[in-house]
A and B are shown apart, each in its own frame.
Chain A
Amino acid sequence: MRNFDYAAPTSLAEAASLLARAPGTARVLAGGTDLIVQLRENVREADLVVDVKRIPELTELAYSAGTGLHLGASTPCYRIYEDPAVSAAYPALADAARIIGGWQISSRASVGGNLCNSSPAGDSLAPLLALDARCVIVGLDGTREVAAADFCTAPGRNVLAKGELLAKLVFPAPAPKASSAYERFIPRNEMDIAVAGASSWVQLNAAGDTIIDARVALSAVAPTVRLATAANRWLVGQPAVEATFERAGELARESASPISDMRGTVEFRRHLVGVLVKRTLATAVARALAGE
């Protein structure tokens, strides 16, 4: 691995300053589960690595039913799924956090890092879109926010400009009669990169028989993770029954534009979108009815 300088700032301002003033390429180090491998394999390079885990805001996990979840960008995934309140309020996020690699990976990897790596196959990305998370970005000039759905721009690329870093993710407070789920398909049962993934968030009416709002998001089937817009529009007002989930799955397939690679063909990925959307909708509805 080529050598680089290392800094571990303790404040956001210091981090932004380091990133802005670095002479060459500066990279943010959160859990390192992608970055260190990429540096070693010369997929990415760095002149300066800025370890942000000593900045208190970056490792926060603050949840209240009233204000929602504030998730520091480098908070390791295991803290999400080990927190019962957060897991109950945002099940899709917990579903993803639990399966980002094995335990050794989730000990280090963060949802913020997963998002900044901007792989279309990142497991936590679809839940961010389904849960309507917002990204708080800090730079020398201050703070800005973008919707998670607008964060990634291409495989490995995102809206962060030089000198900016992702500080935290903000999730809206859980709505009544609403819940969510994430599922992916991999060829073995654990520890693999998604061939396709889907996350669904639904809100039901008071009677619990009709969908009044829904967001379905897809991963690993397009250059970036994306919302299944046509399905989401159609779902509003539909009965919360299996036929609806099935139809939504078919509509979601139209939102996918996958490629063929060693993990799967276009046809296989498109097929999986239908299956996974249907399954995650069914799970999300069941969880909403169970009061999760």
Chain B
Amino acid sequence: MDAMSSGGSEHVGAERIVAERIDDHQGGDNRGGDPGGGDNRGGDRQGTIERRSAGAAMGQPVRRWDTVAKLRGETRFVDDLPRAGVLVGGTVRSPVPHGRLLGLRFDPAFDWSTVTVVTARDIPGENVCPIVYRDQPVLAFDRVRYCGDPVALIAAEDEETLQRALDAVAVDIEPLASLFDARSAELPPEATVVSAAPPVYGTNNLYRRIEINKGNASEALAKAAVVVEGEYETGAQEHLYLEPQGMQAEREGGGIVLRGSMQCPYYLVEAVAVNLGIPESQVRVVPCAAGGGFGGKEDFPSLLAGHAALLAWKSGRPVRMVYERVEDIRYTSKRHPAWIRHRTGFTADGRLAGMEVELLLDGGAYSTLSPLVLQRAAVHAAGPYACDHVRIDARVVATNHPPRGAFRGFGGPQAAFAMETHLDRCATRLGLDPVELRRRNLVRPGDTLATGQTLGADGNVRTVLDRALAESRFVERRAACAAFNAAADTRTGATRFHRRGIGLSCFMHGTGLNGNAEGFFRSRVFIDATENGRFRVSTSQIELGQGTETIVAQLAAEGLGVSLDGIELAPLDTAVTPNSGPTVASRTAAVIGRLLIEAGRRLRTRVEQFHGGPLADESEFRAAAARLAAAGATREVAEYTPPPGFAWDEARHRGDAYLGFSWGCYVVELEVDLLTGETRPLDITAVQDIGCVVNPMLASGQVEGGVVQALGWALMETAVWRDGQMVNANMTDYVIPTAVDVPPIHVVFLEQPLERLPHGAKGLGELPHEGPAPAIANALRHALGRDFNAIPITPETILASQD
């Protein structure tokens, strides 16, 4: 599988088998040897894959590992921890979006001896939340930069006392002019102080600028036969994980322990050690079950952990901080709003000659993860297309909005919306079918992307496009939509005002962390043999609902060559758990999967060496492992190092931006009501190549959930901002899709293995958020004959576009 040629031939074989399996499904599914496969897993409902592995567990639709306790209501999330003896913590916040903090006044009528108060002066360590740049204080001390910027913390015996105490603090602020428009945020270099207010960040409000250059785009555009320009805009999106942010801190010995909802336990170890001024060895993080994250629990829990820890440190008591929904929506991060401009040149026959992309993100008041979100947005900005001359100029700027942060896709969905909506407009200008335009320009194995990254045998995106066209019966459905619209005037009643359209998008998502970051983290996993004949697996990957525990077990079983029955997962506790890096960036199946397979294979070799020969029989193998465990330590450690040949030049943004890319092609058919502007998706086909499907049941769940989250982003989720504050910060006014809003979603997986990894897996979690929005915009364009260059596309915007 290491050689490109063999990988390529394997892929062809896998393709054929996928098609055959779909035929099987129509005649009755007998996967897993269970004839009762039944209606909830028929071919049209469940993702179909061909498992490449010879292992026992990988590729099987095994049950979720965490399910039974969740179904019984027994799983303990942070808010379910016992409350006895635990103080409740709350936050005093800035009432204005920008200002100089003059001081805090504590109402003498309140008995302050009954509560614990922490201000910036009480921070024993550094007053900084360490994410990337270290510009965000844990508590503001001289300036406040967004409405809700924390300025003090209070812990009380009960909610009522806490509320009275919070109400008894007045925050004195000299307001400064606020900056809300990202498009005018960046100040010219060497700016002589013309602005009434100091910059929100640095000297010019620019968090980061990334330029990616391949060939000579401006020259290519000047020579191009056709040049198409366009501007695209996407809005902020709220994660709306169903479990709000929550953290509990408690002193323990000379250190502190944190329990809560998070994606990255080791981020908290660093943050709290920095804030308290203690060694990282004195900070222990024991995550609770987490009720969804979607990126929203990547960076923010570091800040919240700092807050809870400071209160626990000063009070000497356990302190819990669980946000109510309004506080969570108002003051935690959102998806970055984006403004993206394309200038694209084509040859006369519709081949890409040159691409220029300018991309701007509103990063909000502190940088948090913005520098990295920008990087992913920039790398994805030119899409999965082959073009020799590309220039991408991407910036993320500071404003006085609450900090923007990680959200499923991490800048990729914004880039994909612009690229794919733009391409349909280009097709019209070129007089080409949008499908044909893509087919002519999609990358192939051996092509390079914008950063110069050369694609391996898995880089065949046409396969994904072709499959999506076939699965969705695209050409036939497109004709049917046109016929439906042409016959509108012959109908009576409401459907006379209905129009239909179908659209598609091709997109990609880089696997794992960008560039050298995976190498920087040097993720580690452990597998131990136990005396009871099982294998105990330790990682710091978090189960957020996406199925991490289950696939970690499957991947370890794959490496060991045992059934799942032989696997145990060690509870996560940073005191003993190795740092396998954050649970982000669609990295678990691919990056951690590689480590689990490596550790498993090595442990098998050790057991067999101990035994004195190969052990094909599982029970004999496990018995030998138990004997080895009884004889002494059996820990196998696998640590990440970049695969041979992987090279990324961070300074120039050249080379291998990611380990590899997953590819997708989504098709959306929809109906619009011309009278009310309502859009009703009728059918969604989601075809993706993720290299290796570890668990098809969980994988299709990722796609279905991601598609619906993106559908909300595209059609209804509108964050309304007034003076830098989100005014619809509750679940009455910020609406997300319900069960009634969702059409049938047909999920298909292809497996073109990534040669750099032993199991070939590429990332999945974020990919599904990239495809739906542009496919919807393109379908609306097909239905109504007008461009939709900004999302969300609400009924009102559709009606306004008709005027």
Contact residues of A with B, CB < 8 Å? Answer: 102, 185, 187-193, 242, 262-265, 268, 271-272, 275, 279, 282
Contacts and interface: CB of A to CB of B under 8 A. Distances in A.
Contacts, number: 42
A262 B738 contact: no
10 contacts: A102-B738, A187-B794, A188-B737, A188-B741, A190-B738, A190-B741, A192-B735, A262-B727, A262-B733, A272-B676
Contacts of A272: 676
Given A262-B733, A275-B675, A191 B738 contact: yes
A80 to B, nearest CB: 20
Contacts of B718: 262
B286 interface: no
Given A192-B735, A193-B732, A279-B494, A262 B796 contact: no
Contacts of A187: 716, 735, 794-795
B740 interface: yes
B583 to A, nearest CB: 30
A264 B732 CA distance: 15
Interface in B718-751: 718, 720, 727-728, 732-733, 735, 737-738, 740-741
Nearest to A3: B160
Nearest to B737: A188
Given A262-B727, A264-B796, A279-B494, A189 B676 contact: no
Contacts of B494: 279
A187 B712 CA distance: 11
Given A262-B733, A264-B796, A275-B676, A188 B728 contact: no
Contacts of B675: 275
Interface in B474-498: 492-494
A268 B738 contact: no
B60 to A, nearest CB: 36
Contacts of A263: 733
Contacts of B740: 188-190
A148 B727 CA distance: 33
A271 B799 contact: yes
B732 A268 contact: no
Given A187-B735, A193-B732, 17 more contacts: A185-B678, A187-B716, A187-B795, A188-B737, A188-B740, A188-B741, A189-B738, A190-B740, A191-B735, A192-B735, A262-B727, A262-B728, A262-B733, A264-B796, A265-B796, A271-B799, A275-B676
Interface of B is mostly: loop
Contact of A262 (B493, B720, B799): B720
Contacts of A189: 738, 740-741
A188 B716 contact: yes
Q: What is the predominant secondary structure among interface residues of chain A facing chain B?
A: loop
Interface of B: 492-494, 675-676, 678, 716, 718, 720, 727-728, 732-733, 735, 737-738, 740-741, 794-796, 799
A268 B716 contact: no
Nearest to B796: A268
A272 B728 CA distance: 22
Query: Which of B718, B727, B737, B795 lies at the interface centre, i.e. has the most chain A CB atoms within 10 A of its CB?
Result: B795
A104 B718 CA distance: 25
Nearest to B492: A242
A268 B733 contact: no
Given A190-B740, A193-B732, A262-B728, A185 B676 contact: yes
Nearest to A286: B493
A278 to B, nearest CB: 8
Contacts of B727: 262
| Residue of B675, B718, B720, B728 ringed by the most chain A CB atoms within 10 A | B675
A190 B716 CA distance: 13
Nearest to B496: A242
A242 B6 CA distance: 67
A187 B678 CA distance: 7
Nearest to A282: B493
Nearest to A2: B160
Contacts of A282: 493
B735 A188 contact: yes
Contacts of A265: 796
Nearest to A264: B796
Contacts of A102: 738
With most chain B CB atoms within 10 A of its CB, the pick from A188, A191, A193 is A188
Contacts of A279: 494
Q: What are the 5 A-B residue pairs with the smallest beta carbon separation, nearest first? A: A189-B740, A275-B675, A190-B740, A262-B720, A268-B796
Contacts of A242: 492
Nearest to A276: B676
B799 A268 contact: yes
A268 B795 CA distance: 9
A185 B738 CA distance: 16
Contacts of A268: 795-796, 799
Contacts of B492: 242
Contacts of B733: 262-263
Contacts of A275: 675-676
Contact of A188 (B493, B738, B799): B738
Contacts of A191: 735, 738
A264 B798 CA distance: 13
A282 B497 CA distance: 15
A272 B740 CA distance: 22
Nearest to A274: B675
A81 B727 CA distance: 35
Contacts of B720: 262
A19 B282 CA distance: 59
Give the residue among A102, A187, A275 with the most B Cβ atoms within 10 A.
A187
A242 B732 CA distance: 35
Nearest to B324: A40
Nearest to A189: B740
A208 to B, nearest CB: 18
Nearest to A279: B494
Contacts of A190: 738, 740-741
A192 to B, nearest CB: 6
Contacts of B732: 193
Nearest to A185: B676
B27 to A, nearest CB: 35
A187 B799 CA distance: 13
A267 to B, nearest CB: 9
A191 B795 CA distance: 17
A187 B735 CA distance: 8
Contacts of A262: 718, 720, 727-728, 733
B337 to A, nearest CB: 17
Nearest to B732: A193
Contacts of A193: 732
A264 B494 CA distance: 22
A282 B678 CA distance: 20
B40 to A, nearest CB: 23
A242 B494 CA distance: 11
Contacts of B493: 282
A262 B796 CA distance: 11
A265 B795 CA distance: 12
Most buried by B among A185, A193, A242: A185
A282 B720 CA distance: 36
A279 B673 CA distance: 13
A121 B720 CA distance: 20
A132 to B, nearest CB: 27
Contacts of A264: 796
Nearest to B730: A41
A156 to B, nearest CB: 16
A272 B737 CA distance: 22
Contacts of B796: 264-265, 268
A174 B676 CA distance: 31
A102 B720 CA distance: 24
Contacts of B794: 187
A185 B794 CA distance: 13
B494 to A, nearest CB: 7
Nearest to B677: A268
A265 B796 CA distance: 8
A272 B741 CA distance: 21
B227 to A, nearest CB: 36
